Chain A
Amino acid sequence: MQSMLLTIALAPLFGAVVAGLFGRQIGRVGAHTVTIAGVALSLVLSLVVFKRLAFDGAPVFNENIYTWYQIGSYSAHVGFLIDRLTAVMMVVVTFVSLMVHVYTIGYMKDDPGYQRFFSYIALFTFSMLMLVMSNNFLQLFFGWEAVGLVSYLLIGFWFKRPTAIFANLKAFLVNRVGDFGFLLGIAAVLMYFGSLDYATVFANRESIVGKEIEIFSGYAWAVPTVIGILLFIGAMGKSAQVPLHVWLPDSMEGPTPISALIHAATMVTAGIFMVARMSPLYELSETALAFVVVIGATTALFTGLIGLVQNDIKRVVAYSTLSQLGYMTVALGASAYGAAIFHLMTHAFFKALLFLGAGSVIIAMHHEQDMRYMGGLRKYMPITYWTAVLGTLALVGTPLFSGFYSKDAIIEAVHHASAQGGAAYTYAYWCVLLGVFVTALYSFRLLYMTFHGRERFVVADHGSDHAPLAGSAPAPAVSSHGNDHHANDKADAHDHHHGHQPGHLEHAPHESPWVVTLPLILLAIPSVCIAWFFVEPMLFGGFFDGAIVVAPAHDVLAEMGKDFHGVLAFALHGIQTPPFWFAFAGFAVATYVYLFNPAMADRAARLFAPLVRLLERKYGFDELYQAVFARGSLLLGRGLWKWGDARLIDGWIVNGSAALVDRSSGILRWMQSGYLYHYAFAMILGLIALLGAFLWLK
């Protein structure tokens, strides 16, 4: 088992090292072959591991590989903990990663950094596996930061673009703010348990109940709450929860495959996974859980709203990701950890699908990302269109689609939790319910603006199959303010697609090659039907028993399980509940506005102008952070440097003392003039002074 697990983790690393260091020697084909082979091997072995744990009843694997350090009673190791929670994550990560690897062959085929890109995504797969397979906090933190590093490298993959290198720095720093809390949380765990191993910590979890810690003298905090909140701050960074969400939309500067892999399916869900993994600790603090649920609910609703006014196709999907991460977080806060992981899994499939679909559209549109210059693409790229439809239906929660089960379970769980009391949970319930409407609205808006309606682009006449559409000048269908980044995007388009005019294509769009469409199809399958097989075990059947701990008083999923009568019945019941009708309302509004009456959108935008402006400015988080933290730090640094170092320490004390010596010795030198009459004069003065003093004193 151990050698198999090591192979799973190290095979992608091997591919990454070979492709990274010897990319020039092995060429493009060599680079994608070695990395794809590595990730495929990991996937196959992960499936074997999953089968053993899920179906063959294999015991949980928990062993250390080697000792990191041993200092007194403190030790740290590298090791693996493989239970069903880990196994699910391993399969999801390696599967999506493999799809993205294959897709990349098509998406990046003209890019000069082809080998480097494969090296990075394989390295990412290794890091993510280390994160989910870890059996201790230290390795968790290693994986946590390593995926952050790869995210940094990939967001800034096109390092010539100013927006890309701004975005990657921002992503890293915002994540570091989260890590600040995370590291302190780990320190607190070590302080109270004396160990970083999950098994030891979880086994002794009762020992911190009732303990308090004074952070500021006089204010005592319950230790489980402190640990829970500190660790969750880390999750807020990694999983982009308000107010640390600002980096995720900007991360869309990276190539689309990594948006799918890292910024939708896997890395951003690391925070969700972490909290689920720490469920034994979170169950000890209702305060921490309430904190989690409020943050999650806020993210779920309010970032979804921003998605309504975005025109960049990738950014719509990015805000949708933020919102869905909020749903997962809400599930965590409601102690429905199983539902969170279940939604994590279904979301990984359908969101990766949507991102890759968006990428396919972007290829077809010659790297145009603005939906206002799209439309009617359905007939040019049927595979992309139909898979996108399936992904959208899953995302909005259409009954029988995978997303329906996972999202409905979350809403239902919060509903149960709110019934048990707590304003936080009532707030969360309303947020996630309204969020369903918003999700349907922006999802169908994207679908219609991209694939349906009039073609809002012009194809230059190179004797192409499709005649240019005379007179169809670009006509923005929605508020023409656009998003503020758009101007930037235009100014520095891709390396290999210089200065095109918006909405003017050299060739008619066409369906993408099979390396792109095959992953779409393979992702569409689980997006539709994965839930049929897993909804019962994962949510109600105790699939995660042992890995996830829920206090009986919080166990909303068990309560819901009493009413569960099969996949079909669940779907039928879903139709009778509010979430379905909220989603349907979103669908209806989007269909009416964007399909039948585009002028409505402009009118609505004018009507709600202040609200639209607020959303377009993303509630002002970016401006605020830029002004306070970025500019504030620089001002502070400059002040400390100029006043503290240069003026006070160097100017007054160091050079000041040197100048004092210089000046006093100057005076002494001036007095030693060498003229006899100066000395004689000084003697006389001295004599007079002495005599005067003598007389006066007498």
Chain B
Amino acid sequence: MSHHLLSWLIWLPVLGAVAAVVLGHSNAQRARWIALATAIATFVLSIGLYCGYSAEAGSLQFVEKYLWLGVLNVHYHLAVDGISVALIVLTSFTTVLVLIGAWSAIEEKVHQYVACFLLLEALMIGVFCARDALLFYMFFEAMLIPMFIIIGIWGGPRRVYATIKFFLYTFFGSIFMLIGLIYLYLKTGSFDLDYLARYPLSLTEQIWLFLSFLLAFSVKVPMFPVHTWLPDAHVEAPTGGSVILAAIMLKIGGYGFLRFSLPITPDASHELAWLVIAMSLIAVVYIGFVALVQEDMKKLIAYSSISHMGFVTLGAFVAFELAREVGAGDAARLALQGSMVQMISHGFISAAMFSCVGVVYDRMHSRMIKDYGGVANTMPWFAAFMVFFAMANSGLPGTSGFVGEFMVIVASFQASPLIAATAAITLVVGAAYTLWLVKRVLFGEVANPQVAALTDINAREAIVLGGFAAATLLFGVWPAPLTELMDASLQQVVQQLMHVKV
């Protein structure tokens, strides 16, 4: 099994999805249990992957490579390094909690709902393992379909607008990546990522390729100014959809930068790093202010996600300045670590924040901040969790939210104090929008009879929030396991981005 562990990780959820649809067709409860069992089994497998992966080497491990479409030289080529392992564990962990969280929130077509999530899990794990560009692209695009369905069927009142916007927006971006990949194939005759990373390309070629990748991944992250699909998608998505979208799908954008832009077009990335850095800083500051004035809780958290993801792209591209301009290889590594830790941490925290909204939405059927007030009076345990996650979202040391931001800020200070200072504005603005939300929702007198009638979280909700809280706290007080897992692999990324191709 260990030879095919990655295939198992991808195909087990697919099998579970089929089983849930077939066997759970008439019995919603059975569908839920099948899905949960599958998700837990996948999580256990991913822990096996974590334990079996040898972090010191930092090399690609668990390799599976078979010729798939011989005529195009496409391979079914799977392998993982430390970065992928971290993201795969995050994916399987989150999926388990999402299925628990949706246990009673979804009543219609349960078997299809849980099947969608399992398919989504399979495709996302596929994205993180694929070492063949076309295979990656397939997973990358296929992922849209289950999410399209999740928002379109189980979503809110404006779900059709949101789901079409979501689909077209992201599809528009990734089409350009396909063009880029086809160009690369025609030029090199291969889709192999390692081969492409070594293949010399002229600066002009790199710049065009870089732009095509940038379009695809910046929409996914999303970065300013192509972020406007996200708030709409989040608002209309059911809680589980929001959680997966925020926790994992956004990460695929950041992951794409690390797997495509940095290794394949290092010189163009260096040349245009200023552009991405500027976009990231705008995301951090501009979006922070926009988040401040949102009246819809989910929109607020969606904007906060965009702002936090700004640190991911900032870290990844400030690394170029550090490695190539300043000559500080270790600082570049610190920036990349910060970027990756921020991805993982944001996975937990944004998932938890959306789950919190889900908890009260299930009771009140409103996402509007003004409908709440004084929730802490009737839901003290919920309030404790939400304050904790709000603090994590504000980047409080001791929570994982701090670690990535800290690394990115201190590393980028070496590239330019002004970049660091702009990014650090989030210390104030991030705390402002998050804690103002907390103040308006949780604190104060009981605002209305609906709030007075609220009941505190049940055991199932406590498991979901507690799971996220444990992860947030663990990596907040002890990030070493995470950084050790990825360090050697990120060192290779640093070497790739130092490698001048032209």
A contact set with B: CB distance below 8 Å: 66-74, 138, 141-142, 144-146, 149, 152-153, 156, 159-160, 162, 165-166, 169, 172-173, 176-177, 179-180, 183-184, 186-188, 190-191, 213, 215-216, 633-634, 636-638, 640-641, 644-645, 649-650, 653-654
Once A and B bind, how many residue pairs between them come within 8 Å at the CB atom?
A: 142
Known: A72-B333, A637-B291; 11 extra A-B contacts, CB below 8 A, are: A66-B480, A71-B487, A146-B397, A153-B387, A159-B376, A159-B442, A166-B439, A187-B417, A215-B417, A640-B286, A645-B290
With an 8 A cutoff between CB atoms, is B329 at the interface? yes
With an 8 A cutoff between CB atoms, is B409 at the interface? yes
With most chain B CB atoms within 10 A of its CB, the pick from A71, A160, A186 is A71
Pairs A–B under 8 Å by Cβ, sample size 5 = A68-B479, A169-B435, A184-B413, A191-B414, A654-B228
Determine the chain A residues whose CB is within 8 A of the CB of B436 once the complex forms: 169
B contact set with A: CB distance below 8 Å: 165, 169, 225, 228-229, 286, 289-294, 329-331, 333-334, 337, 374, 376-377, 387, 391, 396-398, 402-403, 406-407, 409-410, 413-414, 417-418, 420-421, 424-425, 427-429, 431-432, 435-436, 439, 442-445, 478-480, 483-484, 487, 491
Q: Is the interface of A mostly helix, strand, loop or mixed?
A: helix
Knowing A159-B444, A187-B420 are in contact, say whether A177-B428 is a contact too (CB < 8 A). Answer: yes
Taking a contact as CB atoms closer than 8 A, the residue among B396, B417, B480 that contacts A213 in the complex is: B417
Judge whether A644 and B479 touch: CB under 8 Å: no
Determine the chain B residues whose CB is within 8 A of the CB of A187 once the complex forms: 409-410, 413-414, 417, 420
Judge whether B435 and A172 touch: CB under 8 Å: yes
Determine how close the nearest CB of chain A comes to the CB of B30; give it in whole angstroms: 36
Determine the chain A residues whose CB is within 8 A of the CB of B413 once the complex forms: 184, 187-188, 190-191
Determine the chain B residues whose CB is within 8 A of the CB of A159 once the complex forms: 376, 442-444
Knowing A159-B443, A160-B377, A179-B427 are in contact, say whether A145-B398 is a contact too (CB < 8 A). Answer: yes
Judge whether B443 and A165 touch: CB under 8 Å: yes
Determine the chain A residues whose CB is within 8 A of the CB of B424 once the complex forms: 180, 183-184
Taking a contact as CB atoms closer than 8 A, the residue among B421, B445, B480 that contacts A70 in the complex is: B480
Determine the chain B residues whose CB is within 8 A of the CB of A142 once the complex forms: 397-398
The 10 tightest CB contacts between A and B, nearest first, are: A72-B330, A187-B413, A637-B289, A637-B293, A142-B397, A187-B410, A637-B292, A159-B443, A165-B443, A69-B483
Determine the chain B residues whose CB is within 8 A of the CB of A179 once the complex forms: 427
Judge whether B396 and A149 touch: CB under 8 Å: yes
Taking a contact as CB atoms closer than 8 A, the residue among B229, B292, B407 that contacts A633 in the complex is: B292
Judge whether A172 and B439 touch: CB under 8 Å: no
Taking a contact as CB atoms closer than 8 A, the residue among B406, B428, B483, B484 that contacts A180 in the complex is: B428
Judge whether B445 and A160 touch: CB under 8 Å: yes
Taking a contact as CB atoms closer than 8 A, the residue among B165, B391, B414, B480 that contacts A69 in the complex is: B480
Taking a contact as CB atoms closer than 8 A, the residue among A70, A183, A188, A644 that contacts B483 in the complex is: A70
Question: Which residue of chain A lies nearest to B391 when distances are taken between CB atoms in the complex?
Answer: A149
With most chain B CB atoms within 10 A of its CB, the pick from A187, A633, A636 is A187
Determine the chain A residues whose CB is within 8 A of the CB of B428 once the complex forms: 173, 176-177, 180
Bound-complex Cα distance A458 to B229 (A): 65
Determine the chain B residues whose CB is within 8 A of the CB of A68 once the complex forms: 478-480
Determine the chain A residues whose CB is within 8 A of the CB of B294 once the complex forms: 641
With most chain A CB atoms within 10 A of its CB, the pick from B228, B406, B410, B478 is B410
Question: Which residue of chain A lies nearest to B397 when distances are taken between CB atoms in the complex?
Answer: A142
Determine the chain A residues whose CB is within 8 A of the CB of B290 once the complex forms: 637, 640-641, 644-645
Judge whether A67 and B169 touch: CB under 8 Å: no
Bound-complex Cα distance A198 to B351 (A): 37
Determine how close the nearest CB of chain B comes to the CB of A216; give it in whole angstroms: 7
Judge whether B165 and A184 touch: CB under 8 Å: no
With most chain A CB atoms within 10 A of its CB, the pick from B337, B398, B417, B439 is B417
Judge whether A71 and B409 touch: CB under 8 Å: no
Determine how close the nearest CB of chain B comes to the CB of A137; give it in whole angstroms: 10
Determine the chain A residues whose CB is within 8 A of the CB of B478 once the complex forms: 66, 68
Determine the chain B residues whose CB is within 8 A of the CB of A188 once the complex forms: 413, 417
Determine the chain A residues whose CB is within 8 A of the CB of B229 once the complex forms: 654
Determine how close the nearest CB of chain A comes to the CB of B334; give it in whole angstroms: 5
Judge whether A176 and B427 touch: CB under 8 Å: yes
Determine how close the nearest CB of chain A comes to the CB of B488; give it in whole angstroms: 11
Bound-complex Cα distance A66 to B479 (A): 11
Judge whether A71 and B292 touch: CB under 8 Å: no
Judge whether B398 and A74 touch: CB under 8 Å: no
Judge whether A173 and B431 touch: CB under 8 Å: yes
Bound-complex Cα distance A215 to B396 (A): 27
Determine the chain B residues whose CB is within 8 A of the CB of A153 once the complex forms: 387
Judge whether B444 and A160 touch: CB under 8 Å: yes
Determine the chain B residues whose CB is within 8 A of the CB of A637 once the complex forms: 289-293
Bound-complex Cα distance A215 to B413 (A): 10
Judge whether A72 and B329 touch: CB under 8 Å: yes
Determine the chain A residues whose CB is within 8 A of the CB of B397 once the complex forms: 138, 141-142, 144-146
Determine how close the nearest CB of chain A comes to the CB of B381; give it in whole angstroms: 10
Bound-complex Cα distance A467 to B483 (A): 72
Judge whether B334 and A640 touch: CB under 8 Å: no
Determine the chain A residues whose CB is within 8 A of the CB of B402 once the complex forms: 145
Question: Which residue of chain A lies nearest to B431 when distances are taken between CB atoms in the complex?
Answer: A176
Question: Which residue of chain B lies nearest to A653 when distances are taken between CB atoms in the complex?
Answer: B225
Judge whether A162 and B289 touch: CB under 8 Å: no
Taking a contact as CB atoms closer than 8 A, the residue among B228, B391, B421 that contacts A650 in the complex is: B228
Determine the chain B residues whose CB is within 8 A of the CB of A177 once the complex forms: 428
Determine how close the nearest CB of chain A comes to the CB of B297; give it in whole angstroms: 15
Question: Which residue of chain B lies nearest to A177 when distances are taken between CB atoms in the complex?
Answer: B428
Judge whether B289 and A640 touch: CB under 8 Å: yes
Determine how close the nearest CB of chain A comes to the CB of B385; give it in whole angstroms: 12
Question: Which residue of chain B lies nearest to A127 when distances are taken between CB atoms in the complex?
Answer: B398
With most chain A CB atoms within 10 A of its CB, the pick from B165, B169, B432, B436 is B432
Determine the chain A residues whose CB is within 8 A of the CB of B439 once the complex forms: 165-166, 169
Determine the chain B residues whose CB is within 8 A of the CB of A190 once the complex forms: 410, 413
Determine the chain A residues whose CB is within 8 A of the CB of B417 once the complex forms: 184, 187-188, 213, 215
Bound-complex Cα distance A176 to B396 (A): 10
Determine the chain A residues whose CB is within 8 A of the CB of B484 once the complex forms: 70
Determine how close the nearest CB of chain B comes to the CB of A20; give it in whole angstroms: 8
Bound-complex Cα distance A187 to B419 (A): 12
Bound-complex Cα distance A213 to B409 (A): 17
Determine the chain A residues whose CB is within 8 A of the CB of B421 once the complex forms: 180, 184
Question: Which residue of chain B lies nearest to A179 when distances are taken between CB atoms in the complex?
Answer: B427
Bound-complex Cα distance A672 to B225 (A): 37
Determine how close the nearest CB of chain B comes to the CB of A177; give it in whole angstroms: 6
Determine the chain A residues whose CB is within 8 A of the CB of B443 once the complex forms: 156, 159-160, 165
Judge whether A74 and B292 touch: CB under 8 Å: no
Bound-complex Cα distance A69 to B478 (A): 8
Knowing A169-B436, A173-B435, A640-B290 are in contact, say whether A186-B410 is a contact too (CB < 8 A). Answer: yes
Judge whether B228 and A172 touch: CB under 8 Å: no
Knowing A145-B396, A215-B418 are in contact, say whether A173-B432 is a contact too (CB < 8 A). Answer: yes
Determine the chain A residues whose CB is within 8 A of the CB of B431 once the complex forms: 172-173, 176
Determine how close the nearest CB of chain B comes to the CB of A658; give it in whole angstroms: 8
Bound-complex Cα distance A179 to B431 (A): 12
Bound-complex Cα distance A634 to B432 (A): 11
Question: Which residue of chain A lies nearest to B482 when distances are taken between CB atoms in the complex?
Answer: A69
With most chain B CB atoms within 10 A of its CB, the pick from A145, A146, A213 is A145
